[in-house]
Structure 1
Amino acid sequence: MDKKQVDLIKNGKGFIAAMDQSGGSTPGALAGYGIKKDEYQTEAEMFELVHAMRTRVITSPAFSSEHILGAILFKHTMNNKMEGKYTADYLWQEKGILPILKVDQGKEEKKNGVQLMKPMTELDDLLKEAADYNIFGTKMRSVIHSANPRGIKEIVAQQFEYGKKIYDAGFIPILEPEVNIKSEDKLESEKILKAEILSLLAKLDDEQFIFKLSIPEQPNFYQEIIEHPNVVRLVALSGGYSQKEAVNRLSKNNNMIASFSRALLQDLKVDQSEEEFNRILKDAVVKIYQASIT
């Protein structure tokens, strides 16, 4: 584990760009970008189009280490190149931005008010591959839909179990037990979630985790997690909020930085000129950065 990279993610000013749309979410990402489903016929064509979109974003001068600490990638992106270099090497060597890999294999059906991650049967091989591609950290997502204590306890336990394994393999894991922003009892879910996280943090040895959580209903609600010695950083997902609302909510939370996807990319379109595209991306990057350094 590179100490310089760990120090950057722990103490650097900036945010993490989430560029990890997978098979299920890629059509929506492409549609938002202005590419309709009838413009591609196969999954391979779809992934090539989304890689071209991600390449356009990441190689833009607006996408720089001045504001961005890391970028979360999908496996297909890791396996492909940008400007002649594999994506992770391009990010770190050319941009000074940490490459992070989405490693979960999707979510189970809803049970006890939550969606656990599917068993990660490919994790060992994926981590070996990630090491070969010079990946810094990982990310895995599960979702809390209602304030069910049993379900939330299971979701946090699963995240910690895989987090320990990933840390032992030499990566800094991002644990993402997302609370659905449309949940009717979101605040109550957050209270249960925080208690479960703090309980399991107290049992860790020297493992170091990043947490990616929904922006809380009460500003600075997760301060105890931020200050815990086993926590490298606390980052926020946009969770479906518009860029304006996500930025406004995040700015009220001190020491919580963004890890936005939709709120970062929402106004980018395939038919924009390079000048317009870079201007719109820079505007989004700066707004998200400012909300992340409060």
Structure 2
Amino acid sequence: MASQVRLDMLKKIQTEKGFIAALDQSGGSTPEALRRYGIPENRYSGDEEMFTKVHKMRTRIMTSEAFSGDRILAAILFENTLDREIEGLASADYLWQKKHIVPFLKVDIGLEEQHNGVQLMKPIRGLNDLLDKAVDKKVFGTKMRSVIKLANNSGIHIIVAQQFAVAAQILAKGLVPIIEAEIDIYSPEKGAAELLLRGELLKQLDAVPVDQQVMLKLSLPKIAGFYDKIIAHPRVLKVVALSGGYSREKANRLLSENKGMIASFSRALSEELFELMSDDEFESTINESIDSIYQASNA
């Protein structure tokens, strides 16, 4: 990617107001996303038809007038979306050239079974090739997700170490990783897990080379301002919040209490969008959704 384009993307993330749209449902989560949109599984057969349906849904979102760089800093894409086009342009090019929205790519391939209270990422086969593709497609950064279920010190130590080890490979390619260590919002030990996670993240951030930065995607904390030290860390470009199953209304309320965190919502962004909506209904609904998330991200 031309260095000036990367610098322009970096400047947008650093200086402009907005939030990150998560449009990265992969094979496992796509059927649920389509069901919520009003397309049950009997409407398609096989992965190719499924991904075509979800790309049509995402295209409708991304081409809407409300979906623009005025309120959206970046969007996270699934690899299948990266490989497709929107209005005759490669998806990442469409986002940046037409919408002035920075493209990111989801690179993990799912989760291991729970062990020590956490679900590690599965080994990412072909990661090097995928990162090369991301660079070639003019993607700015990546995202990868792990999940914490319990306040297990050993499990949380391992999950953060794994995330930062993969992040180092991503940084070496000149990409910015979004490290997503999600804490299950229904965990009976959520507060204790947050305390352990914050400690492990600060240790790993201190070890990141001084000329590099990462981003973090975290569950909204029980205590407002809990991640302030991480937000202020010099190795952190941005801290974003996942909705984690909260309704948009609740996620927005919690987010507005955490200064310096911005949204990176998926389900909460699209929760009231349906296939059978007229264009006017769709535009009105997504505009309201985007505006509410924007306001909460910049409260």
Pick from 35, 49, 54: which aligns with 2:53? 49
Aligned residue number for residue 190 of structure 2:
186
Pick from 64, 79, 86: which aligns with 2:83? 79
2-structure distance, mates of 1:131, 1:204: 21
Residue 207 of structure 1: how far off its partner (Å) = 2.2
Aligned residue number for residue 266 of structure 1:
271
Pick from 161, 165, 170: which aligns with 1:166? 170
2-structure distance, mates of 1:9, 1:116: 28
What is the correspondence of 1:1-294 to structure 2 with a 5 Å cutoff? 2-205=6-209, 206-294=211-299
Regions of 4+ moved over 4 Å: none
2-structure distance, mates of 1:161, 1:207: 14
2:149 maps to a residue whose letter is H
Segment of structure 1 superposing worse, 125-134 or 280-289: 125-134
Residue 37 of structure 1: how far off its partner (Å) = 0.5
8 Å contact kept, 1:71–1:97: yes
8 Å contact kept, 1:164–1:207: no
Equivalent residues, number: 294
Segment of structure 1 superposing worse, 95-104 or 6-15: 6-15
2-structure distance, mates of 1:274, 1:101: 28
2-structure distance, mates of 1:152, 1:256: 22
Give secondary structure in 2 for the equivalent of 1:110. Answer: coil
Report Cα offsets for 1:226-254 as digits up to 9, x if no partner: 00000000000000000111001101000
Structure 1 unaligned segments of length 5 or more: list them.
none
Give secondary structure in 1 for the equivalent of 2:216. Answer: strand
8 Å contact kept, 1:26–1:50: yes
Give secondary structure in 1 for the equivalent of 2:20. Answer: strand
Give secondary structure in 2 for the equivalent of 1:289. Answer: helix
8 Å contact kept, 1:104–1:140: yes
2-structure distance, mates of 1:201, 1:43: 38
Report Cα offsets for 1:195-252 as digits up to 9, x if no partner: 0000111122122100000000000100000000000000000000001110011010
2:112 maps to a residue whose letter is E
Give secondary structure in 2 for the equivalent of 1:201. Answer: helix
2-structure distance, mates of 1:18, 1:243: 14
8 Å contact kept, 1:201–1:230: yes
Give secondary structure in 2 for the equivalent of 1:164. Answer: helix
2-structure distance, mates of 1:53, 1:198: 38
8 Å contact kept, 1:209–1:232: yes
TM-score, normalisation: structure 2: 0.97
Identity of aligned residues (%): 51
1-structure distance, mates of 2:235, 2:69: 25
Report Cα offsets for 1:258-287 as digits up to 9, x if no partner: 000000000000000000001000000000
